[in-house]
Amino acid sequence: MNDFPVTYLNFNQDLTCVALGLKTGYKIVNVEQKFGRCCSYKDDCVNIIEMLYTTSLIAITPLGNEIGSSPRELKIKNTKTNSTICSLFFPTSILNIKLTNDYLVVVLESQLYIYEIKTMKLLQTVKTNSNPLGLCTVSYDANNCLLAYPSPPSATETLSNLHNSHQNKSNANKSAGNATSNKGDLIVFNINKFLPIMAISAHKNDIAAMSFSSDGSLIATASDKGTIVRVFDTNTGVKLFQFRRGSYPTKIYSLQFSNDNKYVLATSSSLTVHVFRLGEEEALENKQKKKIKTIEEEPENAREGDEDDSDDMEDNMDVDDEDDEAEIPTKQRKLSQGSSNSFNSVNSEDINAPVVDQNRLSVARLIRRSSQTLGRKAAQKMGDYLPSRFSSILEPTRHFASIKIDAKNKDLKSIAMINNVSSGQESLSLNQVDSRDSDHLLHVNVVTSEGILYIYGLDQERGGDCILLNQYSLIEE
């Protein structure tokens, strides 16, 4: 992100504000209904910034470019007085910071430090071995405060023991107990009890992104391939949802649940945002119930191979509908013209069909959609007579809606969240969008490392292409 003005992007815990780390300090911007700049301060070049809800307490780590600054230093600051409350130095560079109302979690490459936020007393140190990306996620429910991090390579035996201790729970994650390789495993840790409570075998490859729902009941994961997004129940370890993001490898920058747990958003290096719906139709349990031949009728060895092969088999046989759009020259979207044209084209279509943005149409995209339609038809014809892992390849669960960010730099990073306010209730809706159409649009806020906030409209009933409603620069004075 060195080529961009923003060095770090992060939403606060309740998704009402975004914190921007800059080369000259930091800014905190309110992205809720009352859009506006909250505060801006000069400081060292910021590497990481973490807010504590909308309080004046923040935690920052400098990038270490300036004389006297170090990426090993953690500063707890008061934004009202612009003063440093305390400063801590760690053995190696700080890779991630997480704040809750009760705890501070500092992530190094091989350790996690857990502090009591009120007294800054060190409560526990957790060894994680190599974690170069600083992957870590926490839940913010005081009664269910969970921490998740990638499993260390030496934890195979621990995974088995943890699985055996939970084997009485129905439908527990079967692959954890038989794991011989745990590159894609994660540990769920109860911070209140200071104990690991579960091991989940999420992927065959290394994990690239993970995120808890706000209540800690769900966790979403993506591997470094970036093709599959999975959602697990944190009480049982059961895989509830599996989504196909794309077939070409890409880097997942962020995963984010909506506050009501109805959607998961994934941003990636392909300049796309995918919105996955966590509904009854998408649930794996309900998808299996629709099959005439149930999974119990398949051979035992076929059932055991379903989950193990899903990453590799689907990656080799599926087709993506988003990642290669940039290869075909398309009409560049403008804010006023693009949104109005999109809605005019949408209103003439079937009211139950997914929204299609005319500015994103291309020959390549039409071909991809046709191939996916053929795959779905083949799945309907043959899916009941094939093992579940083959039918899931023919008819994978894809995104409910998607966004293509209008940017040219492939290194652009982004984060996204759903604002649970419809366009009809918000002052930022477009004049050209009919009020009857805007009533059921949710706002998707996308913030990029260029310092731009994009506000898109998501049709809750139809999904499809999200429509650009507005955009703002967050770094201009």
Model confidence over 416-466: pLDDT tens digits? 999 876 554 444 444 444 444 556 799 999 999 999 999 999 999 999 999
The reported pLDDT for the residue numbered 315 is 44
Tell me the average pLDDT across 30-40.
76
Q: How many CB atoms lie within 10 A of CB 372?
A: 19
pLDDT at 374 over 60: no
- Examine the domain organization and report whether 262 and 138 are in the same domain: yes
CA neighbor of 30 nearest in space, from 466, 418, 474: 474
In a domain, 88, yes or no: yes
In a domain, 58, yes or no: yes
In a domain, 198, yes or no: yes
The reported pLDDT for the residue numbered 471 is 93
Q: Whole-model pTM? A: 0.80
Across the beta sheet with 46-51, the strand order is 46-51, 57-62, 73-78, 83-89
- Examine the domain organization and report whether 254 and 190 are in the same domain: yes
Domain end (from 81, 110, 127): 127
CA atoms of 168 and 236, how far apart (whole Å) = 10
- Examine the domain organization and report whether 92 and 149 are in the same domain: no
- Examine the domain organization and report whether 27 and 90 are in the same domain: yes
Judged by average pLDDT, the poorest of 99-108, 170-179, 226-235, 265-274 is 170-179
Band of residue 157 on the pLDDT scale cut at 50, 70, 90: low
In a domain, 262, yes or no: yes
Long-range contacts of 89-93 (CB under 8 A, 24+ apart): 93/64
In a domain, 254, yes or no: yes
In a domain, 24, yes or no: yes
Enter the DSSP assignment of 365.
H
DSSP-H helix ranges across 216-334: 284-289, 300-317
- Examine the domain organization and report whether 20 and 122 are in the same domain: yes
Judged by average pLDDT, the poorest of 113-117, 128-132, 236-240 is 128-132
428, 470 Cβ separation under 8 angstroms: yes
Token reading at 353: 């069909």
| Average model confidence (pLDDT) across the chain | 79
Band of residue 350 on the pLDDT scale cut at 50, 70, 90: low
Q: What is the dihedral of CA 277, 283, 288, 291, to 10 degrees?
A: -40
Instruction: Give me the residues paired with residue 60 across strands.
Output: 49, 75
For residue 6, the enclosing domain spans 1-127
404, 379 Cβ separation under 8 angstroms: no
Instruction: Look at the chain and report how many structural domains it folds into.
Output: 2
Token reading at 225: 């391939």
Instruction: Give the burial class of 92: count Cβ atoms within 10 A of its Cβ; 0-12 exposed, 13-18 middle, 19 or more buried.
Output: exposed
278, 262 Cβ separation under 8 angstroms: yes
Band of residue 361 on the pLDDT scale cut at 50, 70, 90: low
pLDDT at 180 over 80: no
Tell me the average pLDDT across 187-197.
94
10, 49 Cβ separation under 8 angstroms: yes
Domain end (from 127, 146, 171): 127
Sign of CA dihedral 344, 348, 352, 358: negative
- Examine the domain organization and report whether 274 and 416 are in the same domain: yes
Domain end (from 127, 147, 172): 127
User: Which CATH number covers residue 206?
Assistant: 2.130.10.10
Band of residue 356 on the pLDDT scale cut at 50, 70, 90: confident
